[in-house]
Chain A
Amino acid sequence: MNVDIQSLGTFNQLAHEGAQQATQSLAQMTGIDAAVDVTKITLLDRTDVGEALEGREFVGVQFEYEGVLEGDTVLVFEDESAETIADSMMPGASENPEMAQSAVKEIGNIMMSGFIDGWADYLDSTIDHSPPTYIEKSGSEVLPDAPDAGDHRQVFVFKSEIEWVGKSVNFYIYMLPEYEPLADAMVESADTDDDAIPIDKLQTFNEMTTSGTQQAADNVEMMTGIPTAAEVTQISFAPIEDVPKQIGTDTYVGTVVEFTGRPSGYLMVLFDEVSAVNVAEAMMPIGMDEDELTDQHKAAIEELGNIMTSGFVDGWANVLQTSVDHTPPRLVHDMGRSIVDPLAAQVGQQQEHAFIIDSTMRTDDIEFAAEIHALPNEQELRAALDDLDVERADQTEASVEQIFE
């Protein structure tokens, strides 16, 4: 089954406009000035949906919908904002828990009706939704079970992040459609086969990337002795201008490389500052016990980034039976968005939307987390997927012994 880039772009735009409509409803009812920060379509393993919500408490509303699209959608607020929202709608509402719940349900109902109606109008059909169900849970538990994907291991999720202007509070809209009706709707919306993406191969590519992330995690473990596990790997699709927003405003230390071949693009290995010091210390033969990044730490991070990059892309090259070259790593130490901005601008010269491949790895032993983000050229990724022999997908490792025997 093929889905063209244009219909992925259209569906993303639809989700974005729906989120904007929902945000306007919020502003009208509460006076809260909010803006849609990011909207993206993500293909990921069903067990990883909502990983970004971990560690926080949420309240919100959930709907089931059916018609031309089927599935669940939720709107969630971080719980500390729920009282403000309730009081904005009706002063004093937060003092009465039942009234507060009712206020959240009502605003959720109004916001999400606009969101769903936009989809129905575009698809020239009807989508019915259930009455809202109030939810109050931790992390990803706030989301419904990922939809049935049939024979597919991965699911599409539409996610919008809405920022409360001037406050560090976010709202999230997750739309979790069942796979087949969504894929059918996408195929129906396709105008041309010229830029079609074979969806099944995109899933296989995602799995190859998971294997690359595990290889990168193994490399970290071998160099540092820190047991490291690959966590989430996902492929998202978003407008170019939204790409830098996905990395956020935290400060990162890491490396950037440009890779060439099929596909070409940019790859970032990023650590938060504490993780960078921890991992660099672990690489040193003699502990330096410094809290801040020294030149030696940076040299260690540069080499680790180089090795992690190779671990990540080598599997693509081996399965595709091609070579993917990359430049020497360039050390970066800046706000996430500032690191990504120039790379997105480069990629944006040839395309309006981008696929973003994101991976994370973690350890429980010390404070350590790393992210890998790849920004491939869209046309070359498509060509690579065309060439991908699914039967070879597990052949990510090359044998030095065989080649040098």
Chain B
Amino acid sequence: MPDVLIADDSEFMRNLLREILEEDHTIVGEVENGVEAVEVYKEETPDLVMMDIVMPIRDGIEATSEIKSSNPEANVIMCTSVGQEEKMKEAVKAGADGYITKPFQKPSVMEAIQDVVPS
């Protein structure tokens, strides 16, 4: 099963993502800001990071950029409420591989993961 790191400052959303993913994925960590996301990524090197954008301390785009700098093969899907075109372009520039806007349902999450990490 692919290893997944969940980065979201909302406990509610981390729980929701865990419930969606845990059947087919191994959750290696749940973090609530971009700094922790980079740290845990480097420790665990998961197959996939589900990354929120708006987080305290360091946002998800900066964290994605740092993860991709350290490992260009890393897989990051932005999982965010932000639906702005300019922000999506920033995410692409930072190296994001996919983008899901909240609110989402399980099929759209699984489809986005399948596009980035084919089983």
Q: What is the interface of chain A, defined by CB distance below 8 A to chain B?
A: 219, 222-223, 283, 285, 296, 299-300, 302-303, 306-307, 309-311, 314, 317-318, 321-328, 397-400, 403-404
Contact = CB atoms under 8 A, between A and B. Distances in A.
B11 interface: yes
Interface of B: 9-13, 16, 19, 54-56, 80-90, 92, 96, 98-103, 105
A321 B103 contact: no
A-B CB proximity, top 8 nearest: A398-B85, A310-B81, A323-B86, A317-B84, A314-B83, A303-B10, A303-B12, A307-B81
21 contacts: A219-B81, A222-B105, A285-B19, A300-B12, A307-B103, A310-B81, A311-B83, A314-B84, A317-B87, A318-B84, A321-B86, A323-B87, A326-B54, A327-B54, A327-B56, A328-B54, A328-B56, A397-B83, A398-B83, A399-B85, A404-B88
Nearest to A326: B54
Nearest to A397: B83
Given A283-B12, A311-B81, A328-B9, 18 more contacts: A303-B12, A306-B10, A306-B54, A306-B81, A310-B80, A317-B84, A317-B87, A318-B83, A323-B87, A327-B56, A328-B56, A397-B83, A398-B85, A400-B88, A400-B99, A403-B85, A403-B88, A403-B89
B86 A317 contact: yes
Contacts of B16: 285
Contacts of B84: 314, 317-318, 323-324, 398
B116 to A, nearest CB: 10
Nearest to A297: B12
A259 B102 CA distance: 19
A101 B96 CA distance: 70
A403 B89 CA distance: 7
Contacts of B101: 400
Contact of A404 (B56, B81, B86, B98): B98
Contacts of A400: 88, 99-101
A157 to B, nearest CB: 32
B99 A403 contact: yes
Nearest to A318: B85
A323 B105 CA distance: 26
Contacts of B87: 317, 323
Most buried by A among B9, B12, B90: B12
B85 A321 contact: yes
Nearest to B83: A314
Most buried by A among B11, B19, B89: B11
Nearest to B33: A328
Contacts of B92: 403-404
A296 B86 CA distance: 33
Contacts of B98: 404
A310 B83 contact: yes
A222 B98 CA distance: 21
A299 B90 contact: no
A223 B105 CA distance: 9
Contact of A328 (B55, B83, B105): B55
A317 B19 contact: no
Nearest to B97: A404
A311 B96 CA distance: 21
Contacts of B102: 219, 306-307, 310
Contacts of B56: 327-328
A41 B4 CA distance: 52
B30 to A, nearest CB: 14
A251 B28 CA distance: 41
Contacts of A398: 83-85, 88
